[in-house]
Amino acid sequence: MDVFQTITKLAKEVGESWTAYGAAIAGTRAAEDQIAKALAPTMKNGSASLLSADCSLVLFGSFARYEFVDGSDYDWSLLVDGVVDNDHADAAEAIRNAITKAKLPQPGSSGTFGNMVFSHDLVHRIGGGADSNLNLTRRMLMLLESRSFNLNDDSCYDPVWDNVLSNILERYFEEDVHFAPKGKRKVPRFLLNDLTRYWRTIGVDYAAKHREQGEYKWAARNAKLRFSRKLLYAAGLAFCLSCQLDPPSATHTNLFGDVTDETPAPFIERAKEFARIPPLEFLAAFLDTYVKDSDRRKKVAVRIFGAYNEWLTIWGDKAKREEIEAITHDQAPNNQVFQQIRDTGSDFARGLEMLFFDRDRDIEKDSIAALTLQYIGF
């Protein structure tokens, strides 16, 4: 598929090329080939004998966002949706060993990736004391930046990933006491609240990691918070608002072909479609669909996607990335690369403010800004 087709369209509108997106796609494709090659010895007769029918290899992070650059971590998880089986642990260990043997960068030390993830925790532990930061992160990333990686064919359908995601979304939509497909309220407040909780948790955890790890790669974490982490929240917010800006037909047809009462089912299907689109491309499609004023489209596009293109260019430069990973707090004010990232991050944030809050115009005339204030404000 053409991963960033809407971004390409917007680039033409503003007279830019934004070449970093093409390079990021190429880097992601190359990384896919590398991980497939690394896992090839586990395959037999062209079939994915490594995985049983109740588990799936799922890619996250820059893999799923199609932003992979040289040096990016290979963020993966073995998603298990079945009864307990010792073979699951063996499969996870085999994947881990294969990636290590191929000398590919393993996921970070936080434990979020690089191991088994169980569907029951993701689906049944939403909120409450049992919902840890780790579980919240994994659940949100399933929706915001996950992609099933098929080892034996080119099919984009994965029943395990599809079933787990469907059940998570059923919780969010069918148990949302404020969600009313029949009425005016169509923004999924349950999902939006959890999405906002995740975004704020990232900010709090940034401070916690700074306390635990000190200056080790602090500038890299800071940069990611300004761009890729913020992007996930923005794309999720855009999806939630789109449920009311352009709601799908909420009628449901049963097995006998009869149209029954309105249900959340079409919204769940819409959410699954969202999960299959890279967050940056979804944000571009949101802008393309709901912002028709030519001048405003161009201003927002340049600030959001032009800035993100610059970020990918910086982060794709090995020398600059290593420089950022090594600098101290004292060096940051005089470090040109860090200052470039900070200034570009400000442009990116300003673009998001213009898109969602429209602070340059009369808010009553803009439906996106009105919904943002209604659901993100008080």
Confidence bin at 367 (pLDDT 50/70/90): confident
Q: Give the total number of structural domains in the chain.
A: 1
Domain, as residue range, for 309 = 5-376
pLDDT at site 169: 97
Q: Which residues, in sequence order, are CB contacts of 263 under 8 Å at separation 6+?
A: 181, 250, 251, 252
How confident is the model over 338-361, as pLDDT tens digits? 999 999 999 999 999 999 987 555
Q: How far apart are alpha carbons 112 and 141 in whole angstroms? A: 10
Which residue would you say has higher pLDDT here, 77 or 48?
77
Burial class (CB within 10 angstroms; exposed 0-12, middle 13-18, buried 19+) of 62? buried
pLDDT at residue 322 is higher than 50: yes
pLDDT at site 45: 47
Q: How far apart are alpha carbons 281 and 298 in whole angstroms? A: 16
DSSP 197-222: HHHHHHHHHHHHHHHHHTTTTHHHHH
pLDDT at residue 112 is higher than 70: yes
pLDDT at residue 129 is higher than 70: yes
CB 80 within 8 A of CB 55: yes
Q: What pTM did the predictor assign?
A: 0.90
How confident is the model over 259-300, as pLDDT tens digits? 455 788 999 999 999 999 999 999 999 999 999 999 999 999
Q: Which residues of 180-208 are buried (b: 16+ CB within 10 A; e: fewer)?
A: ebeeebbbbebbbbbbbebbeebeebeee
pLDDT at site 263: 81
How confident is the model over 135-149, as pLDDT tens digits? 999 999 999 999 998
How confident is the model over 155-205, as pLDDT tens digits? 556 899 999 999 999 999 998 877 776 666 789 999 999 999 999 999 898
Q: Which residues, in sequence order, are CB contacts of 350 under 8 Å at separation 6+?
A: 303
How confident is the model over 15-60, as pLDDT tens digits? 999 999 999 999 999 999 999 999 888 765 444 568 888 999 999 9
pLDDT at site 344: 97
Q: What is the mean pLDDT of the chain?
A: 88
pLDDT at site 153: 53
Q: Which residues of 91-108 are buried (b: 16+ CB within 10 A; e: fewer)?
A: bbebbbebbeeeebeebe
> What are the tokens at 216?
């080790």
Q: Specify which residues 328 forms β-bridges with.
A: none
